[in-house]
Amino acid sequence: MAASVTEVTVSCRCCPPRVRSPPCCVITWASAHPAVGCDVVSVTWETPPATTSRRIRAVGQRVLDRLDVLVEDMVEAILEAAPPLAEDPLLAASTLASTHANMARWLSATVARPDEPVTVDVPPEALDLARDLMRRGMDRDLLSTAYRQGQNIAWRTWMRGAREEGLDGDALEAVLDFGSRSLFGYVDGVLDGLARRMEAERGDLTGEAPARRRETVMLILDRAPVDPQRAGVRLDYALDRHHTALALWASDGSVDLGELERAAGALAKAMGTSRPLILPVGHNGLWAWTAGPSPDLDALRVAVHDLPAGIAVTTGSTLGGLGGFRDSHREARDAQRLVLRNPGGPRVVTYGEVRVVALAMQDEVRARAFVATTLGELRHADAELRETVRIHLREDSSAPRAAAVLHTHRNTVLKRLARAEQLLPERLAGHGLEVRLALELQRWLPGDGRG
């Protein structure tokens, strides 16, 4: 049978001469970067006999069955050898995801086609880790260190699996030879692919592409006459769909831009919408748009709690076309302004929750005067009492429903309402709309609206 086109492997003075690809050596398909003391020799891939292929599949399945344990051991070794990855919880999590994706890919492909080298198809999780490292200004050496450490653990596990299969002699050598060439070649191929993607993205971040993207977005937001199809191509984002805009930022300065971008992707996934279009704004914020007709906002609220504590997000309504792209963004920014004026507020706010407040807060001086006139002494009452009145009015003045929301008894709600009546300038009956608006405004006015 004709040999395939695998280009290089190595043997070295520090390893048994008959094992052409020892674990202490670095092997690549297209170029060689041998460890110190190793001599490079060119070889070609030879399709193994059917008997060897069956043994390779058996060892591969044995290792695949212990994938989680293997990945745990690999990540432990990686984090020990690369402290910057261990020190950052997000990078550590990304390392785990990347390692799992790579090993699942290699082992599954090996079990499926034990007679072929595994083709390099860089998993998205591996790209995420590489992108995170680049965003933090970390060089490729750190990535290479991580991969080599993981590779060594995987190789030792492969050798252990071969021994557990009871292999020895030529059978053992053949399975080890295959495993080393396939594994090390896959690792080198992934590293080579990541290097190219990192360089391309570095150029994209510092070159013309971000400027074109920003220019196109700003033209749309400024209502300039743009062709939706052409603009969509430039943005790599379909503009003829429904859009939900997001504004994300690092509320305490502890989160970098790369983490914000990952957060935008995670939130879009949680909502069940498309991969987001992202536009960085400043060093600690970004705008994003994601396409889909019915985003799951409840899932968004849950997903926010899995993000770093410093990340906050607001969303606009889900609106269609270019106009929806603009208007949803404006709404997300309006909600963001409310949150930024009231530090310590909720981490996630949808425009639907603050629509009326955003409109009423156009003039803060008049809004404060309205709160003072409408609430009277109630504006100085404890937060529990004010919240009871607000929820009671929101629930159409239903004491049982308010009690359910507040997790208290109906009679407790009624007693609190009676206390509130004594503090309001006018009776609640007939003035519920004004009182509710005043209470909503008070929640968002800087200083809690008590001044």
pLDDT above 60: residue 8: no
- Are 52 and 184 within one domain? yes
Looking at the 3D structure of the chain, how many domains does it have? Answer: 3
pLDDT above 50: residue 166: yes
pLDDT at 202: 63
- Are 352 and 411 within one domain? no
- The confidence band for 90, taking pLDDT boundaries of 50, 70 and 90, is low
Share of the chain above pLDDT 70, in %: 83
- Phi/psi region, residue 312 (left: phi>0; alpha: psi -120 to 50; beta: rest), is beta
- Are 234 and 347 within one domain? yes
- Are 53 and 188 within one domain? yes
Q: Which residue has the higher pLDDT, 375 or 3?
A: 375
Average pLDDT rounded to a whole number, residues 281-288? 77
Overall pTM > 0.75:
no
pLDDT at 15: 37
Please name the residues in contact with 205: beta carbons below 8 A apart, sequence gap of 6 or more.
none
pLDDT above 60: residue 89: no
pLDDT at 66: 92
Q: How far apart are CA 129 and CA 7, in angstroms?
A: 28
Lowest-confidence region among 319-333, 410-424, 431-445: 431-445
Lowest-confidence region among 40-44, 164-168, 276-280, 431-435: 40-44
pLDDT above 80: residue 54: yes
- Are 198 and 219 within one domain? no
- Are 46 and 160 within one domain? yes
- Are 317 and 387 within one domain? no
- Are 252 and 334 within one domain? yes
pLDDT at 428: 86
Lowest-confidence region among 170-179, 206-215, 371-380, 438-447: 206-215
Average pLDDT rounded to a whole number, residues 323-340? 90
Lowest-confidence region among 49-63, 77-91, 160-174: 77-91
Note whether 258 and 135 are within 8 A (CB).
yes
Determine, yes or no, domain membership for 293: yes
The 3-state secondary structure of the chain reads CCCCCCCEEEEECCCCCCCCCCCCCCCCCCCCCCCCCEEEEECCCCCCCHHHHHHHHHHHHHHHCCHHHHHHHHHHHHHHHCHHHHHCHHHHHHHHHHHHHHHHHHHHHHHHCCCCCCCCCCCHHHHHHHHHHHHCCCCHHHHHHHHHHHHHHHHHHHHHHHHHCCCCHHHHHHHHHHHHHHHHHHHHHHHHHHHHHHHHHHHHHHCHHHHHHHHHHHHHHCCCCCCHHHHHHHHCCCCCCEEEEEEEEECCCCCCHHHHHHHHHHHHHHHCCCCCEEEECCCCEEEEEEECCCCCHHHHHHHHCCCCCCEEEEEEEEEEHHHHHHHHHHHHHHHHHHHHCCCCCCCEEEHHHHHHHHHHCCCHHHHHHHHHHHHHHHHHCCHHHHHHHHHHHHCCCCHHHHHHHHCCCHHHHHHHHHHHHHHCCCCCCCCHHHHHHHHHHHHHCHHHHCC
- Are 284 and 372 within one domain? no
pLDDT above 60: residue 40: no
Average pLDDT rounded to a whole number, residues 389-398? 90
Q: Which of 327, 358, 389 is the last residue of a domain?
A: 358
pLDDT at 233: 87
pLDDT above 50: residue 35: no
- Are 316 and 425 within one domain? no
Determine, yes or no, domain membership for 150: yes
Share of the chain above pLDDT 90, in %: 36
Q: Which residue has the higher pLDDT, 43 or 202?
A: 202
Average pLDDT rounded to a whole number, residues 378-405? 91
What CATH number is attached to the domain comprising 241?
Answer: 3.30.70
Q: Which domain holds residue 416?
A: 364-449
